Amino acid sequence: MSAPDPRALIREALSAQQSGDIERAKGALQRAIDSDANSVDARVLMARLRAATGDRSGAVKSALDATQLAPDDLRIRRLLAELLAAVNRPEDAAVQLRRIIRDRPNDAGAWTMLGAMLVLANDLAGAEDAYARAVEASPNSAEAAAGLASLRELDGRAKEAIAILEPWLAKSPVDDRVATAFAAPARRLKRSDEAIPLLEDVVKRKSVAGPRREMALFALGDLYASQKRFDDAFASYTQGHQTRHAPWNPDEFDALCEQIAGTYSASFIGAMPRSTSPSRLPVFIVGMPRSGTSLTEQIIASHPDAFPGGERREIRHIMRQLAGEMPDSPRWPDHAGALTTDQLDRAAAWYIEQSRALAPGAQRVTDKNPANQLRVGLIAQIFPEARFIHTRRHPLDTCISIYSKRFTIGHEFADRLPDLARRYAAYDRIARHWARVMGDRFLEIDYEHLVADQEGVTRMMLAHIGLDWDDACMNFHESERVVTTASYEQVRRPMYASSVGRWRDYERHLGPLIEGLRACGVTLPGLDDA
């Protein structure tokens, strides 16, 4: 019997994909790969197919395999970079983009994407250089100009951002990326009335779709909100979520949280394997996104002995490393009790090494990766002396703040209000669990209390992490540090209370969210105590 023809199988896969039979397409591609181990085309098509069906990790693996077979094919490297960006691995994506740029130094698209990846990796100097190189390579690239302008705005240079965009704003029609980049500095400089009609035109264009339409809708929502047009703002945010709605399984997430809480019981924590590290260098700030984690980090980072690590990825790296060493139970937290002191010591030493490289003279380095809300138990195994600060905020303020921001990955739960309610409730349960079992290592602060009594809460936080008082913490907004998360505007201003009770501006639209939270047993101050 003759071996299958890989080219025929690829044609079969393409035909099946066009007819919507995804499983048959995947099967044909896998047979093509099995029959020809060197088939680059089959792996590239498999990567694209997996990405299109939501299997991002599988897509990355297929693209990596293709790159190893064809290391000089820059189109495959670009695909791999895009897929790595989609799974929140900007540093790895940057490696691939630099490889492209090495061979094509005037590739404006690669420079532009590199700039975006370096922003996500908190390398703002590198990002500015990349965007500038993109503009130099292609002065007629609207994408490059918009990227450079967005970076300037992120750095607090709104007037410079608009100066970059002005030549593009004079064109008709205005490029959608330029209009979107104009929104934030226009809002900051009280020019929302100029930006709104531009984006209203953009979102009507059928040619603007996918992530670009999504970004325009969220930017338009923010402009409406700045003019207190809250109904229009909510409608724009909702359209943005509908543009990208990705599946999210609340039952799976609930089960994971229950497993974590069941594993890290009070009795287990008392006897669990742990490292011998005495270090208190790392400070872990945990909580829901938009609950005050960035503000808390900025206050602590204003202390001369502290350094802001931002949303660090080292714990995730450690988890992958440990999973590879535990073949019998690679899925965390299944192997939590089987970890050895030696493994945990090595993990602690590596994390400290990375922290020292990041901030050589600091006594405390923060880590505010939002996924750490699930990893508190593992972190306590790695760093028995580490301190946690849990930031809390009114459930509805937290949720509407999440709903009104465009997150690139990992926040699929935000696209529907009932899912957002389930996600918040699961977080609330696991946070209460950590508060019960972690003892005095786990400090809880309320955003509303911090806003009302900045000095009192700041003194409490500094004492918790072992730092003396410093007046600089009261002037956190004067820090030169650039914040790249969705909270970047808040940390540039002195403490203000206008975000407290923000949910009331949108109350008429929040029925599914309120019902979902109540169904999960979440108390809603201002409603349930009325």
More confident: 59 or 18? 59
Residues 6+ apart with CB under 8 A from 171: none
**Across 233-241, average pLDDT:** 97
Question: Model confidence at 77, in pLDDT bands (50, 70, 90)?
Answer: very high
CATH architecture observed for domain 140-244: Alpha Horseshoe (1.25)
Helix (H, G, I), strand (E, B) or coil at 209: coil
Instruction: Give me the pLDDT at residue 486, please.
Output: 47
- 447-469 pLDDT tens trace: 999 999 999 999 999 999 999 99
Question: Model confidence at 329, in pLDDT bands (50, 70, 90)?
Answer: confident
Give the Cα separation of 530 and 525 in Å (integer): 8
Instruction: Give me the pLDDT at residue 55, please.
Output: 86
**Across 19-43, average pLDDT:** 88
Which CATH homologous superfamily contains domain 250-304+368-519?
Answer: P-loop containing nucleotide triphosphate hydrolases (3.40.50.300)
Residue 481 predicted with pLDDT over 60 = no
* Cβ-contact 303, 459 below 8 angstroms: no
Residues 6+ apart with CB under 8 A from 199: 179, 180, 183, 216, 219, 220, 223
More confident: 4 or 369? 369
Provide the angle, in degrees to the nearest 10, between the axes of the packed helices 314-324 and 341-358: 150
Residue 492 predicted with pLDDT over 60 = no
Question: Model confidence at 495, in pLDDT bands (50, 70, 90)?
Answer: low
- 108-146 pLDDT tens trace: 999 999 999 999 888 889 999 999 999 999 999 999 999
Question: Model confidence at 36, in pLDDT bands (50, 70, 90)?
Answer: confident
Question: Model confidence at 530, in pLDDT bands (50, 70, 90)?
Answer: low
**Same fold for the pair 140-244 and 250-304+368-519:** no
Per DSSP, 487 falls in state T
Classify residue 375 by burial, with Cβ atoms within 10 Å: 0-12, 13-18, 19+: buried
Give the Cα separation of 363 and 279 in Å (integer): 10
At 263, the amino acid letter reads T
Instruction: Give me the pLDDT at residue 480, please.
Output: 59
**DSSP string spanning 295-357?**
HHHHHHHTSTTEE---S--HHHHHHHHHHHT-TTS-STTTTGGG--HHHHHHHHHHHHHHHHH
**Across 431-458, average pLDDT:** 96
Residue 337 predicted with pLDDT over 90 = yes
Residue 490 predicted with pLDDT over 80 = no
Residue 283 predicted with pLDDT over 50 = yes
* Cβ-contact 297, 351 below 8 angstroms: no
- From the CB of residue 527, how many other CB atoms can be counted at a distance below 10 Å? 15
6-20, 330-344, 422-436, 516-530 — which one is most confidently predicted on average? 422-436
Give the Cα separation of 106 and 138 in Å (integer): 8
Instruction: Give me the pLDDT at residue 326, please.
Output: 84
Of 318, 428, 437, 326, which Cα lies nearest the Cα of 377?
437
CA dihedral 297, 302, 303, 304 (to 10 degrees): 130
Domain 1-87: CATH class, spelled out: mainly alpha
Of 303, 289, 221, 314, which Cα lies nearest the Cα of 485?
289
Domain edges within the chain: 1-87, 140-244, 250-304+368-519
Give the Cα separation of 43 and 67 in Å (integer): 9
Summary mean pLDDT of the chain: 92
Give the Cα separation of 408 and 211 in Å (integer): 9
| Residue recorded with tokens 């009331």 | 504
Give the Cα separation of 296 and 36 in Å (integer): 54
At 527, the amino acid letter reads L
Question: Model confidence at 328, in pLDDT bands (50, 70, 90)?
Answer: confident
Give the Cα separation of 97 and 83 in Å (integer): 12
Give the Cα separation of 462 and 303 in Å (integer): 9
Give the Cα separation of 362 and 69 in Å (integer): 44
How many helical (H) and strand (E) elements, i.e. helices and strands, does the chain have? 25, 5
